[in-house]
Amino acid sequence: MKRRKKLKMFFLVTILAIIGIIIYLNIPYSPVKTEYWKKINNIEKKQAKEQGIISKDDLRVLPEAIQKYFINNGYLGIEKTSKVIFSFKNVDFSMGLNKPNIKIDYIVYDFTNNPSRLALIDTKMFKIPFQGIDIYENGQGSMKGVIAKNVTLFNEKGDDMNSGALVTYLSECLMHPSLALQKNIKYREIDKYTVEATIVDNDIKVSGVFYFNENYEMTSFQSKRFAQDTNSYENWSAVASNYKKIKGINTPTRLQAIWHYDKGDLIYFDSKSMEIYYK
């Protein structure tokens, strides 16, 4: 009898534990999201608020191709900002070479006064919540992935992560003049549709090339960065397309991030519904 009671108690406790885990995994609370928004709030407190609007005088320090990009696409007269927010829903995301694709939601905060980039991945793997934080702040890049809200799958850091995260930040710097006009970014016009950009932050220096079409829409950014799939530096690009006029600004709504490997291209990030907010 005692053994039977113990077995019943064991099964009851096990069932309750399983129910508790299921409830916990499905409630909105997430330690990773809490950590992310706490970091955002801490940076926002330190940022000096930008005042005024973007004028032609502000843009004169930029190469002619970038001036035409901002003027032709409607950026004159918009408010200066200390942060730019990117929102991506239902993104096709590759886990890597010869690995499956998953759907993710992705949000990015880019800050201007002190180059910082904070991104949050939110998705499910086998119906289990997965969140990731991708950060560049104070010269330090990191990428952390957590499944089931508390189990850390990876937490990548190091020099290659630092430079790679800064390359990503640089690739997004034409999405608002306040990002492009930072003093630690230098430009060199290669031809009327091509501009090289170099950013230096905390002794880290990275470069890339912006390409424009005949309408002076920015079509891509290309650089070289470390790829974990090959454990070497590879060609990488961010491709912007499907421009649409939104609140008076001609804005790309599709963004793809691509590794250009010797054996072929890997489009590992493909969003067809990019939204950009300025605050």
Question: For 35-87, how does the pLDDT look when each residue is reduced to its tens digit (9 = 90+)?
Answer: 999 999 999 988 878 889 999 999 999 999 999 999 999 999 999 999 999 99
What is the per-residue pLDDT for 96?
A: 87
The predicted model scores a pTM of: 0.90
* Cα-based torsion angle of the residue sequence 78, 82, 84, 85 in order, rounded to the nearest 10 degrees: -120
Three-state DSSP class for residue 195? strand
Residues of the chain below pLDDT 50:
10-25, 27
pLDDT at 5: 58
Alpha carbons 268 and 151: distance in angstroms, whole number? 24
pLDDT at res. 159: 96
**What pLDDT does residue 48 have?**
78
Residues 179 and 182: their CA atoms lie apart, in Å, by 6
pLDDT digits (tens, 9 = 90+) for 15-44: 433 444 444 445 455 789 999 999 999 999
- Model pLDDT, residue 7: 52
Angle at 254 between CA 157 and CA 105, to 5 degrees: 50
